[in-house]
């Protein structure tokens, strides 16, 4: 996965705002989404889920499901590209 070059983002509080100039849309990710965004280019979903399960003290399967949903949303909104 990689972030599209044209996409801009800004961290605010424990979340993150992502702007896609091609679509003229802004998206907000919560703290969990912020971790996914920060790790998406360097970690596999399973590794991201481990980070989240440790950070929020939830089971790995739940974290992995949430990571999968977040990544699917990011791909669908064309904020990231699958390699």
Q: Which pLDDT does position 47 carry in this prediction? A: 98
Q: What is the CATH number of the domain that holds 55?
A: 1.10.10
Q: Which pLDDT does position 63 carry in this prediction? A: 97
Alpha carbon distance 57, 59 (integer Å): 7
Domain count for the chain: 1
b/e sequence 17-31, b meaning 16+ C-beta within 10 Å: ebebeeeeeebebee
Q: Which pLDDT does position 53 carry in this prediction? A: 97
Q: Which pLDDT does position 38 carry in this prediction? A: 96
**Structure-token pair, residue 67:** 């990571």
Distances (CA, A) of 42 to 13, 22, 26, 39, 47: 23, 24, 24, 6, 9
Q: Which pLDDT does position 83 carry in this prediction? A: 79
Domain, as residue range, for 72: 2-81
Alpha carbon distance 34, 16 (integer Å): 6
The per-residue pLDDT string of the chain (83 residues; one tens digit each, 9 = 90 and over) reads 999 999 999 999 999 999 998 889 999 999 999 999 999 999 999 999 999 999 999 999 999 999 999 999 999 999 999 87
pTM of the model: 0.92
């Amino acid at each position: 996965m990689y972030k599209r070059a044209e996409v801009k983002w800004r961290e605010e509080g424990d979340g993150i705002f992502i702007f896609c100039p091609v679509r003229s849309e802004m998206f907000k990710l919560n703290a969990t989404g912020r971790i996914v965004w920060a790790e998406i280019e360097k970690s596999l979903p399973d590794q991201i889920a481990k980070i989240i399960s440790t950070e929020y003290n939830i089971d790995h399967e739940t974290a992995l499901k949430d990571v999968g949903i977040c990544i699917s949303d990011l791909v669908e909104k064309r904020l990231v590209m699958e390699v």
